[in-house]
Amino acid sequence: DAGITQSPRHKVTETGTPVTLRCHQTENHRYMYWYRQDPGHGLRLIHYSYGVKDTDKGEVSDGYSVSRSKTEDFLLTLESATSSQTSVYFCAISGLAGSTDTQYFGPGTRLTVL
């Protein structure tokens, strides 16, 4: 157990509404990541953070924003949700000890946009 929680675990929302997903870690890892997982595409990086207030875009960042105001929390925001953003979202962390490459995943959030 890498000490990662995600909330909510499930959410159904309507097109055009804002949505914020939260990732919380208890182990002081430097790096945090948001991925989405879709059939046929595997896991794709949305955004990642390399420190408080330091973030960068991933492969599929359009339509998403992130914020990290504390080491332990990384928020993913969909400003205006669309049906194409229906997916399972995973948070990951790395960098506490050993290689910073080794990422540990949270349990996921299943988001449905109607």
CB of 13 vs another protein, minimal distance in Å: 20
Given the complex with another protein, which of 15 and 100 has the nearer CB atom? 100
What does the DSSP assignment read for 63-86?
T-EEEEEETTEEEEEESS--GGG-
Report how many residues bind another protein under the rule CB under 8 A: 26
For tokens 């995600």, the residue is 6
Site string for another protein, 11-40 (x = CB under 8 A): --------------------x-x------x
Strands 10-13 and 54-57, sheet pairing: unpaired
Give every CB contact of residue 96 below 8 A, 6+ residues apart in sequence.
Answer: 27, 28, 29, 30
When the beta carbons of 64 and 106 are compared against another protein, the nearer one is 106
As measured in angstroms, the least distance from the Cβ of 90 to another protein is 5
d(CA 83, CA 111): 10
- Tell me which residues touch another protein (CB under 8 A): 31, 33, 40-45, 48, 50, 56-59, 90, 94, 99-108
